[in-house]
């Protein structure tokens, strides 16, 4: 199943699963492809990076997609494609002043430090654009790594894991 098909199915789920909550809109999304362990997710990724979200933009008001400019701090897997890459994420402003984001995978915020498992876009015009899902998205807070949303692995859920230990673990996966 292609990326366009997956995104279309996810969007259909979002459009029919939108709930109004206070000042925003909360989307409940069923993600398409589950990884059962870090090894499979690492092997399927084109690059794995540690980076910082610097800016974001939403080019189309009624398309629930926000594009983040991520500054790469460290390459964990793969060759560094550029100093800054673009990473789209589902969510954005669907109604005037109403933020719509998946409940299980909130939008990145300016300054978020992230570890991302990503696949390169196959579109010619999407230079330095990479895609990833909630399972391959981790935030670094106070030197510890946590899942960005509610989807993640239990070893990281509540206590987090030291960021250097996590990165070393991922690099060992690359040697196997």
The residue range of the domain holding 55 is 34-89+108-175
The reply to whether 99 falls in a domain is no
pLDDT at position 56 is: 92
What is the rounded (10 degree) CA torsion for 103, 120, 80, 141?
10
The total domain count for the chain is 1
**Cα 20 off chain centre by:** 23
User: What 3-state DSSP class applies to 36?
Assistant: coil
Comparison of pLDDT for 122 and 82, the residue scoring more: 82
Banded pLDDT at 3 (limits 50, 70, 90) = low
Model confidence at 18: pLDDT above 60: no
Predicted confidence (pLDDT) per residue in 85-128, tens digit: 999 888 887 777 778 887 778 889 999 999 999 988 877 666 67
pTM: 0.78
The reply to whether 20 falls in a domain is no
Beta-carbon count within 10 A of 91 CB:
24
The reply to whether 148 falls in a domain is yes
- Give the Cα separation of 147 and 155 in Å (integer): 10
């Amino acid at each position: 199943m292609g990326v366009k098909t997956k995104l279309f199915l996810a969007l259909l789920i979002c459009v029919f699963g939108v709930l109004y909550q206070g000042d925003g809109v909360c989307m409940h999304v069923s993600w398409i492809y589950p990884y059962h362990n870090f090894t499979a997710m690492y092997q399927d990724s084109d690059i794995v990076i540690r980076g910082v979200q610097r800016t974001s933009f939403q080019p189309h008001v009624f398309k629930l997609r926000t594009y983040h400019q991520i500054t790469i701090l460290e390459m964990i897997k793969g060759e560094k494609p550029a100093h800054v890459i673009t990473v789209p994420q589902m969510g954005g402003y669907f109604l005037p002043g109403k933020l719509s984001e998946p409940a299980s995978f909130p939008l990145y915020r300016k300054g978020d430090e992230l570890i991302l498992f990503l696949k390169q876009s196959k579109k010619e015009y999407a230079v330095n654009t990479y895609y990833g899902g909630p399972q391959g998205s981790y935030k670094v807070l106070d030197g510890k790594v946590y899942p960005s949303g509610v989807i993640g692995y239990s070893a990281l859920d509540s206590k987090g894991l030291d960021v250097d230990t996590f990165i070393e673990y991922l690099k060992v996966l690359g040697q196997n």
